[in-house]
Structure 1
Amino acid sequence: MIDPRLLRDDPERVRAAQAKRGLSDEVVDLALAADTARRQAIAAYEEKRAAQKQLGALIPKATGDEKQALLAQTKTLSGEVKDAEAARVAAEAAWDAAIRAIPNPAADEAPAGGEDDYVVLETIGTRPEFDFEPRDHVELGQMLGAIDLERGAKVSGSRFYFFTGIGARLHRALVNMAMDLAADNGFIEVVPPSLVKPRAMEGTGFLGQAADDVYRIEGQDLYLVGTSEVPMAAFHSDEILDAAALPLRYAAYSPCFRKEAGSHGKDTRGIFRVHWFDKVEMFVYTTLEESYAEHQRLLAWEKEFMDKLELHYRVIDVAAGDLGLSAQRKFDCEAWIASQGRFRELTSTSNCTDFQSRRLDTRTRVEGDTVPVATLNGTLCSTNRPIIALLETHQQADGSVRVPQALQPYLGGLEVLKPLS
């Protein structure tokens, strides 16, 4: 959640941030009113409690009728204290809900607007050109015996699939290459749980605007994660981190599950938009001051991975209205998908500043004071979309696919993926 001091001291800045995202500033008014009501409820409760303590101190010294009168007064005041406490608890809950509804204010550098208002920061590599009619990843996957969509749908339904044969090997190779890149840069490898409690999901902002895209386990207080950002953000919840140990960098490999709510009719062919995929996610804890430079480092590692795959891609600065609840700024790396004739997102990295850590109570000590840390996340490799880009970018006329040099050692030296027949 945002720093409450920002709301109290500079509400106009929060209103401007809402406008930049294309959102109503009604939440600002609601939060300010809730803050006032909370303060008043706390003051009223403390006043009643003080009166109760003063009255309690008089009773042992009183006798006779005076004591009886004080006891009767105490009984009445006790009821008033309970009512004031209930009002305080309700007011604090209303305040908490109101402040949590306000997204992280976007960075000044982030473009204003919605999904189509991104800014292209750079374009890297050469767009693939073919002297034959290029195939899409579905046809190539079938020819290579790499992707089985028909049996995926039979077993699990639409937007599911099997990686088979060389597809399964390619999946494993991508994960291993990503984890090696992370390890070489000092990341701690993690295999986190894919089921989390509500606090972890809510603490990362995924039970707000993204709630419809989350799978909940019926009858249990557990959610399937859509990214290992969720368990990693909660990993150090309720802890005070040693400032000397920062930044703490983790590379987490996990399956991810998404309902893809609102995507009806979008990307229905192939494995671009699916309900399950595996992913290597970078997650960092650092100081707020250092988070901006760390964000650039995460982007650089993502670009390094894209370069290893020899892809044509661009980096975009995502517009404020297309940021998630927690993100202050986000960069996407979008690869050229030949069959679609456009760039599509493969990776993204977000600076969530101290938004998630305030919700999850993750702090560090600075000059004797405890302050929230900053959290950042970045996809190093999902397993479905890079396979799409690889197959379509490096395809050859006979349906074979050239293996990028950096990936060859992870496929036993294989230089070309060949059709089955």
Structure 2
Amino acid sequence: MAAFRTTRFDVAVTGLGLVTPAGTGVEANVACVWSGTSTAGRAPGFAGLPVDFACSVRDFDAGALLGRRTALRMDRVSQLGVVAARQAVADAGLDPTTWEGARVAVVMGTSFGGAASLEREHRTFLEDGADLVSPMLMVTAPVNMTAGFIAMDCKALGPNQVVSTACASGTTAVGLGRQLLESGMCDVVLAGGSEAALTGTGLASLHKMGALSRRTDDPATASRPFDADRDGFVAGEGAGVLVLERMEDAEARGARVRARISGFGASADGHHVSAPDPTGGGAERAVRAALADASLAPADVDHINAHGTSTPLNDVTESRMIRRVFGEAPAVTSTKGSIGHLIGAAGAVEAAYTVLAVERGEIPPTANLTSRDPDIAIDVVAGEARRADLRAAVSNSFGFGGQNAVIVVTAA
């Protein structure tokens, strides 16, 4: 059996871009998430559905941010992704008009792609006939288009890839971006995830399968990871993009390094289409692979950004796995209490939050956690942010289909 590398390969995170229910931009996200504020609320387009609330990106004017004609060519998933990519590039101090575009890669994660476009045009097909279906559907709905639009917008002309590992997609994209840098195929990677699948059909299906919280009387408290009264997740939308560079390249150009991506692990449960393996074995394999890749022991980890979906099964299974691997020491949080579950974008946004936690030396709280489930025996940060010296942190993502991805973030 092949062994892991014997020397660690760190990549620098030099830029972050965030468009989430917590706001547009890093500062807005920190202000909301680090204060433990919930963003769940009524979604006007879902009135009359059994679950009529979500974590939506509000006050997002795609026409103003991208130009009206450009925005009209994109599904919302690509609009969110392109704006996040622009932010990340600017945050990194890079200029697409001067960089060598052929050495810049894009790796984006998504689960549903342009779901809203597909649902809208299918309705048109059924109600109005084939002649009125938009020809733009074929360039708005496919899952590859967000990465394609980012390449066009940012002149990123190197490898251009999309990964879809359900709720682990964004984390998988960050891990694969790091591997591209190690291979030498590029010098800069825009890695992340984008999702905008808040459609009636999607929410109806998630409700029918029992995945969503039914706390319709109080949506703001519905997403409550690790809480004894949790009853499901709150669906969300958003995008997160990280700029990754080799450490020597970032240092040579005098870039600010927010943190490092030092390890990546992935696995499959091979168990069930939607339920986690009750033993947590698949998740554990991904965690241990990421630690080995980073040449770290469990005792070296100070913080874990958990998958923490607020579902009865995931939270207990994940917490037992964390306790088994790490013991009691690491401080755990789930930012889904604040922004809900962003599906294919969740891992990328949570990777960005983990980078920010390490950089700031401050762990955001798990929003809405008021009474920890007695079956969850880990140190979950709740109530308010916690100051800490964070040398290394782990971000977990586990998806439907049993696909798991984990990254290790270390201090710059």
Higher relative contact order (CA 8 A, sep 6+): 2
Task: Return the TM-score normalized by structure 1.
Answer: 0.26
Task: Return the TM-score normalized by structure 2.
Answer: 0.26
